[in-house]
Amino acid sequence: MKQVAIIFSGCGVFDGAEIHESVLTMLHLAQQGIAYRCFAPNIEQHHVINHITGEEQAESRNVLTEAARIARGEIQDLAELNVDDFAALVIPGGFGVAKNLSDFAFKGAESQVLESLKSICQQFNSKNKPITYLCIAPALIGHIHQPGTKATIGTDADTAAAVNALGAEHVECAVTDIVVDELQLVISTPAYMLASNIVEASAGIEKAIKRLAQLID
């Protein structure tokens, strides 16, 4: 059975991986009959946010340890990911993508990506293995793929401008739809960049995973 790698950026929308998007990714992969394995970098989070108050907390947490909560403990250090073992890659969104996997939340068009993540994504790309980016994760595309690779974060003008400045080609997209760069084998969907509820988020993610399944068949 072909399997897909999923890379999480922690646990929790404001400082890690968006939990709904992460679980929906696993659900829709399973519904397509695709096995998956979860990974996260073994690094400290940029910061910890109280998800009730939105306030920063005086503590530190580890991205891998936190992501293990979503994966029910079935997770590995990103350093252990062997691209040859997988047919494709999915990166769910959440602010962890823009704070832990990169510094896009703080530097926008001047941002940098975690080098280990960038290397892995480029390995998938060089081996013509598709990658799906959800929510804010398409902000990584300009760092990883060829200039002009199509990407979407939905319709937010400022974020779209930063995505374009990083080298991708932003395409406006409804929450329930996807954007596919057929040449680069890159799929993206807005998810909670636009979704007002879990049903809307699920619709776009389901479509993205179904397209991913077609590309790896």
Identity of the amino acid at 96? G
* Cβ neighbours for 50, distance < 8 A, ≥ 6 positions apart: 56, 57
> Which pairing describes strands 88-91 and 150-151: parallel, antiparallel, or unpaired?
unpaired
Q: Which residue of the set 11, 121, 135, 173 is catalytic?
A: 135
For residue 110 the two structure tokens come to 């001047």
CA atoms in the 13 A half-sphere facing the CB of 61: 22
Is residue 121 annotated as part of the catalytic site, yes or no? no
73: left (phi over 0), alpha (psi -120 to 50) or beta: left
State CA 164 to chain mean position distance. Answer: 18
DSSP one-letter string for 154-216: -S-HHHHHHHHHTT-EE----TT--EEETTTTEEEE-GGGT-SSHHHHHHHHHHHHHHHHHHH
Which residues are catalytically annotated? 135
